[in-house]
Amino acid sequence: MRMFWGAAALVMVAGCQAAKPADPAVEKAWVRLPAVQGNPGAAFLTIRAGNKPLTLLSVSAPFATRTELHESMAADHGSSSGAGGHMMTMAPVKQIDVPAGETVKLAPGGKHVMLYDVAPGVQPGAKVPLTLVFADGSRMETQAITLAAGDAAPE
């Protein structure tokens, strides 16, 4: 009898944990400064949706004059011009969708936030604020660590 109740209690605890709604979050944000001042930089981060899907519409960065959501992709034509023909191209995207309960990572070679005219005073190692604006009107703020153009990406 004692063992039966113990097992029942364990099942109830596990059930409660599974039902607990995950909070939406933004984490692991970092900014790549341009190699040449005046060229755009880029921001990367991880977005986790809670029990509702999230649609990222824009990111505001007070240290840049303008931002755009971009997606990079391999261009598999025009290999005559490049060594090895492995060219990357990128294009603006209107939004970035994060399904409920899932995580979307903005990373080099994929989705990213383009940062135009980064303020010259932003140095590698500085923390800079980013505000994510979602389609439901919600916002999330985060601090991004700033890396120089040649630094290795985190993780």
Least distance (Å) from Cu ion to the CB of residue 75?
Answer: 14
Q: Which residue, 14 or 73, has its beta carbon nearer to Cu ion?
A: 73
Least distance (Å) from Cu ion to the CB of residue 116?
Answer: 10
Cβ proximity of 88 and 110 under 8 Å: no
d(CA 60, CA 96): 15
Residue least distant from Cu ion (Cβ) = 70
List CB contacts of 149: < 8 A, sequence separation 6 or more: 32, 33, 34, 35
Least distance (Å) from Cu ion to the CB of residue 91?
Answer: 8
List CB contacts of 128: < 8 A, sequence separation 6 or more: 31, 61, 63, 122, 143, 144, 146
Least distance (Å) from Cu ion to the CB of residue 28?
Answer: 19
Q: Which residue, 90 or 145, has its beta carbon nearer to Cu ion?
A: 90
Q: Which residue, 50 or 90, has its beta carbon nearer to Cu ion?
A: 90
Interacting residues with Cu ion (CB under 5 A): 70, 90, 114
